[in-house]
Amino acid sequence: MKIPWLIASVALAFLSKSSAAEFHLTDKKSNIQSPAIKEASGLAVSPKNENFLWVINDSGGSPELHLIGTDGSERGKVKVTNAKNTDWEDLASFTLDGNSYLLIADTGDNNSKRKSVTLHILREPKLPADGQKLDGTVAADWHIDFTYEGGPRDCESVAVDSASGKIILISKRTKPPEVYELPLRAPKKKGVLVAKKIGQTAVTAPVSLPFADQPVSMDISEDRSLAAVVTYYGVFLFPHKSDESWADAFSHKPVPLGPHGIGQAESVAISKDGKSIYVVAEGKNSPIRIYQR
């Protein structure tokens, strides 16, 4: 009775990895055209319209959300009125109770000294009509202040699994990278939460390159079938089965998609239909790399 179950499990794992490996780097060429995006550190696909990408700048900048087209065209920005950009390092989009949201991860901590870090969660702003640019202000719906089990960590990889109500985080500078989780919903009691360590992972590049094995951004697909992690070398995919925990998924060897070919890549995002993966880098006029199924 165990043989058929074993064969089915092996087949499922093979198909899952094969599906992830179907992604390939396209030859589409475009760049971020907004002069205000100087240090892109987070990227997310709009849940409302897959032709739009949200972008944030790195530490010290104005607390703004920038909007661009998937072709890199500038589509405006909004200021988050009740948030400070201490060290914004990742951005995630998700749908919850029929509404689309964005999560800003103020989690950068190069020296692992911050007493606590913060996640800002807000409703996705209304997208501009054709020929118009976004302008105005928004406010975060809730904030999550937290630290990590085991002490402060530098973290640039944060993603949301809204179906399970979890936020997944991966540390950057620990060896190996550690995987943590937090509840997505705002806690009833105010105070600093503790992100629970649920496992560890590895993204090993086949070349010698600074930070090639350090996660600098992450995203989880809308259907929860995979997570994408980017390093300065390339993109790594972690297939995820419906009955599997994220701790288990990240414990397996990832599927490498090869080098993305851009310097200091900092952000990755998966389209809501799961067919495209976008990667951008820090610096002005960053190239937009696109992997497609």
The token duo for 69 is 């087209």
Q: In a structure prediction context, what are the per-residue pLDDT tens digits for the chain, which is 293 residues long?
A: 333 323 233 333 333 444 566 999 999 889 999 999 999 999 999 999 999 999 999 988 899 999 999 999 999 999 999 999 999 999 999 999 999 999 999 999 999 999 999 999 999 999 999 989 999 999 999 999 999 999 999 999 999 999 999 999 999 999 999 999 999 997 777 899 999 999 999 999 888 877 789 999 999 999 999 999 999 999 999 999 999 999 999 999 999 998 999 989 999 999 999 999 999 999 899 999 999 99
Q: What is the spatial distance between Cα 251 and Cα 27, in angstroms, rounded to a whole number? A: 32
pLDDT of residue 187: 77
Residue 19's pLDDT is what? 57
- Quick one: which H or E segment has residue 4? helix 2-21
The residues near 26 (Cβ < 8 Å, ≥ 6 apart) are 290, 291, 292
Cα–Cα distance for residue pair 198/169, rounded to 1 Å = 10
Instruction: Write down the pLDDT at residue 53.
Output: 98
Looking at residue 21, its pLDDT comes to 64
pLDDT score at 3: 31
**Antiparallel, parallel or unpaired: β 64-69 and 74-80:** antiparallel
Tell me which residue of 147, 75, 71, 77 sits closest to 106, measured CA to CA. 147
| The pLDDT of residue 63 | 97
Residue 102 β-bridge partners = 93, 122
| Ordered strands of the 137-138 beta sheet | 40-45, 52-57, 64-69, 74-80, 137-138
DSSP string covering 194-224: EEEEEEE-----SS--TTTTS--EEEE-TTS
Lookup: tokens for 208: 């010698």
Q: How many CA atoms lie within 13 A of 198 on its CB side?
A: 19
Between the alpha carbon of residue 196 and those of residues 117, 147, 288, the distances in Å are 14, 9, 34
What's the pTM? 0.92
pLDDT at 15: 36
In Å, what is the CA distance from 125 to each residue of 12, 75, 99? Answer: 39, 12, 11
CA dist 151 and 171 (Å) reads 12
40-45 and 52-57: which strand pairing? Answer: antiparallel
CB neighbours of 12 closer than 8 A, spacing ≥ 6? 241
Instruction: Give residues with Cβ within 8 angstroms of 226, minimum separation 6.
Output: 16, 19, 20, 220, 237, 238, 239, 240, 270, 274
What are the Cα distances from residue 174, in Å, to 42, 53, 141, 161, 179? Answer: 21, 30, 32, 23, 10
10 Å Cβ neighbour count for 12? 12
CA–CA distance, 247 with 115 (Å, rounded to integer) = 25
